[in-house]
């Protein structure tokens, strides 16, 4: 690719740059120059200058997603590493962190190494979380040190939360020496089992009162304070009460971070109609009320919650067309994350630069430098890992086929604002909108 992108807003949070009206020259996968006007003989220009009063397209570092489920190994029909990578690239993501709850789970150093090998030739960097406990059943901690040595960027039993606070404290202390966070899916399994009158697996249990989350958050924070070291990362917060607990923990100086999903920021309304089947809205933790949503948006804006993470959870249609109580929880999110946050997640308009920060620098900080993930920066002369998006362009979800192998989102048919025009990873074009950025059409790296 050799082209000048004309008239874009460049947002590079770590470089403290937020400048509209810039020309960006990308040649051979490298950013050669960012300047208010660039002309170079023979170099094609993609003119993205907006009409007066219209927000410009944004060029920023590639997005990092802390939370995806790619279903490989175990359920290739729902998603593969390849289709997941394609969906990520289309959503502007250049890095994503795969959870360990595959079949079998990634709970040994050997499986971590296998997972990394399987993901090694994809243009989107797929980073791997190792399970915290064998089989995710909360009984026996994995060999944390060896899993990290095999390449795990974090530890966590996402999907489940059956580890005891005592075990969690031990794990936090151990991961502190390895500069890795422990990711916790904060839902109290005993309370859920009680509320549903069930025993055994609670993953599909439909009744999940808000107290199941706040209690789990408080127990995890207490484990962190007992451990006296370590980094606790709270996944997919969904409620006002959890935000309050997070705030208290931070005031106490504890090393606790948190993420929020686009669906909990938006709760879908009012763009999506009641989906059919209804279970398309079923997700853990559940979509809650407007007060919760507002508290989450506020916490993300102020930086108390540092990252937007999709919790991309593909499922085969058969798993979602069961009766609501029996259906699998979760929804896909890689391709709709940006547009959901902009259109109905409270992060458009004046909050766009903040949103970029929470999709790039925030998640990178949570992973930490020891993870090996390069700093999300736009550096002159280096291979570009970046995303170009139009915050205003409207599209209808599902009108053109999604890249994910699954279609389980209640947003099918919704009209959203915000489209990704171009994604580069390590200097390679991994996604492009051929209508808006025609210049690179022949060079897209197939994924
Ligand atoms: Zn989870």
Q: At what angle do helices 165-177 and 210-227 cross, to 10 degrees?
A: 50
C-alpha of residue 344 to centroid of ligand 1, in Å = 22
Of the candidates 94, 137, 134, 100, the residue with the CA atom closest to the CA atom of residue 116: 100
CA-nearest of 384, 387, 332, 352 to 92 is 387
Ligand 1 center from residue 262 Cα (angstroms): 14
Residues 350 and 400 in one domain: no
Distance 402 CA to ligand 1 centre (A): 23
pLDDT at 174: 96
Catalytic residue among 12, 157, 311, 433: 311
Q: How far is the CA of 423 from the centre of ligand 1 (A)?
A: 27
Residue 1 Cα to ligand 1 middle (Å): 39
Residue among 388, 287, 277, 386 nearest 333 (CA): 287
CA of 133 to the centre of ligand 1 (A): 15
- In angstroms, the CA 359 to CA 389 distance is 13
Same domain? For 393 and 339 the reply is: no
CATH of the domain at 253: 3.20.20.140
pTM: 0.96
Asked if 384 and 10 touch (Cβ cutoff 8 Å), the reply is: no
Query: Is 414 in contact with 397 (CB distance < 8 Å)?
Result: yes
* 158, 241: one domain: yes
Rounded to the nearest 5°, which phi and psi values hold at 120?
-75, -20
Backbone φ, ψ for residue 335 (5° rounding): -85, -15
List the shell of residues around ion ligand 1, using CB closer than 5 Å.
158, 185
159 alpha carbon – ligand 1 mean position (Å): 4
3-state secondary structure labels for all residues of 181-248: EEEECCCCHHHHHHHHCCCCCCCCCCCCCHHHHHHHHHHHHHHHHHHCCCEEEECCCCCHHHHHHHHH
Residues 109 and 230 in one domain: yes
What is the 207 CA–ligand 1 centroid distance (Å)? 16
- What are the backbone angles phi and psi of residue 225, rounded to the nearest 5°? -70, -30
- What is the model's pLDDT at position 275? 82
- Of 348, 371, 394, which residue sits at a domain end? 371
Same domain membership, residue 388 and residue 311: no
Q: What distances in angstroms separate CA 329 from CA 227, 246, 282, 287, 403, one per listed residue?
A: 32, 25, 5, 11, 20
Considering the domain architecture, whether residues 231 and 284 belong to the same structural domain is answered as: yes
User: Kind of pairing, strands 386-396 and 58-61?
Assistant: antiparallel
C-alpha 402/C-alpha 240 separation (Å) is: 33
CA distance 202 to 193: 6
Which residue range forms the structural domain that includes residue 388?
2-59+380-443
For ligand 1, the distance from its centroid to the CA atom of residue 311, given in whole angstroms, is: 7
* Domain's final residue, options 350, 371, 392: 371
- Domain end point (choices 318, 349, 371): 371
pLDDT at 274: 77
CA distance 363 to 233: 11
Same domain, 55 and 67: no
Does the annotation mark 157 as catalytic? no
CA of 378 to the centre of ligand 1 (A): 31
Classify each residue of 303-331 as buried b or exposed e, where b means 16 or more C-beta atoms within 10 Å of its C-beta.
ebbbbbbbbbbbbbeebbeeeeeebbbbb
Measured CA to CA, the distance from residue 268 to residue 289 in angstroms comes to: 11
Q: How many folded domains does the chain comprise?
A: 2
pLDDT for residue 277: 87
**Do 282 and 327 fall into the same domain?**
yes
Per-residue pLDDT of the chain (447 residues; tens, 9 = 90+): 899 999 999 999 999 999 999 999 999 999 999 999 999 999 999 999 999 999 999 999 999 999 999 998 989 899 999 999 999 999 999 999 999 999 999 999 999 999 999 999 898 999 999 999 999 999 999 999 999 999 999 999 999 999 999 999 999 999 999 999 999 999 999 999 999 998 878 999 999 999 999 999 999 999 999 999 999 999 999 999 999 999 999 999 999 999 999 999 998 656 666 788 889 999 999 999 999 999 999 999 999 999 999 999 999 999 999 999 999 999 999 999 999 999 999 999 999 999 999 999 999 999 999 999 999 999 999 999 999 999 999 999 999 999 999 999 999 999 999 999 999 999 999 999 999 998 654 444 544
How many CB atoms within 10 Å of residue 38? 17
Identify the CATH number of the domain in which residue 43 sits.
2.30.40.10
351 with 248, same domain: the answer is yes
pLDDT of 269: 58
Beta pairing, strands 30-35 & 17-27 = antiparallel
3-class DSSP assignment, residue 97: strand
For residues 67 and 7, membership in a common domain is answered with no
Angle between helices 240-251 and 290-302 (to 10 degrees): 30
Residues 351 and 392 in one domain: no
Between the CA of 383 and the centroid of ligand 1 the distance, in Å, is 34
To the nearest 10 degrees (0 to 180), the angle between helices 240-251 and 210-227 is: 10
Q: Measured between alpha carbons, how far is 187 from 257 in angstroms, rounded to an integer?
A: 16
* Domain co-membership, 388 together with 358: no
**Quick one: DSSP state of residue 441?**
G
């Amino acid at each position: 690719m050799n082209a000048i992108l004309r008239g874009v807003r460049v947002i590079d949070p770590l470089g403290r740059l937020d400048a509209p009206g810039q020309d960006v020259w990308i040649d051979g996968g490298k950013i050669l120059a960012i300047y208010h006007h660039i002309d170079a003989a023979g170099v094609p220009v993609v003119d993205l200058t907006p009409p007066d009063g219209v927000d410009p397209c944004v060029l920023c570092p590639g997005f990092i997603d802390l939370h995806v489920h790619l279903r490989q190994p175990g359920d290739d029909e729902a998603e593969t590493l390849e289709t997941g990578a394609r969906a990520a690239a289309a959503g502007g993501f250049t890095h994503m962190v795969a959870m360990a709850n595959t079949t079998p789970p990634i709970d040994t150093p050997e499986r971590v190494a296998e997972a990394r090998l399987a993901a090694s030739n994809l243009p989107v960097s797929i980073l791997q979380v190792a399970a915290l406990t064998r089989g995710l059943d909360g009984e026996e901690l994995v060999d944390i040190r060896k899993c990290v040595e095999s390449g795990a960027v974090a530890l966590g039993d996402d999907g489940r939360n059956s580890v005891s606070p005592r075990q969690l404290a031990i794990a936090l202390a151990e991961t502190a020496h390895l500069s890795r966070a422990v990711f916790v899916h904060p839902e109290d399994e005993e309370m859920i089992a009680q509320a549903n009158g069930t025993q055994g697996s609670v993953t599909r249990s439909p009744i999940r009162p808000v107290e199941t989350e706040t209690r789990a958050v408080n127990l995890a924070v207490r484990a962190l304070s007992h451990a006296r070291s370590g980094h606790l990362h709270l996944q997919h917060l969904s409620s006002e009460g959890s935000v309050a607990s997070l705030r208290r923990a931070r005031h106490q100086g504890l090393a606790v971070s948190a993420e929020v999903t686009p669906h909990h920021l938006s709760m879908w309304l009012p763009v999506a109609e009641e989906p059919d089947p209804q279970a398309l809205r079923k997700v853990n933790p559940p979509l809650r009320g407007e007060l919760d949503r507002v508290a989450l948006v506020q916490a993300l804006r102020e930086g108390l919650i540092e990252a937007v993470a999709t919790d991309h959870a593909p499922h085969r249609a058969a798993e979602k067309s069961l009766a609501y109580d029996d259906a699998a929880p979760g929804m896909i999110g890689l391709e709709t994350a940006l547009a959901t946050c902009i259109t109905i997640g409270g992060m458009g308009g004046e909050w766009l630069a903040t949103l970029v920060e929470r999709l790039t620098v925030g998640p990178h900080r949570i992973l930490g430098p020891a993870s090996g993930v390069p700093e999300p920066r736009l550096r002159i002369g280096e291979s570009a890992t970046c995303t170009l998006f139009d915050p205003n362009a409207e599209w209808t979800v599902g009108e053109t086929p999604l890249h994910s192998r699954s279609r389980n989102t209640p947003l099918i048919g919704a009209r959203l604002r915000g489209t990704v025009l171009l994604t580069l990873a390590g200097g390679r074009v991994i996604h492009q909108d051929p209508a808006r950025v025609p210049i690179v059409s022949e060079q897209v790296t197939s994924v």
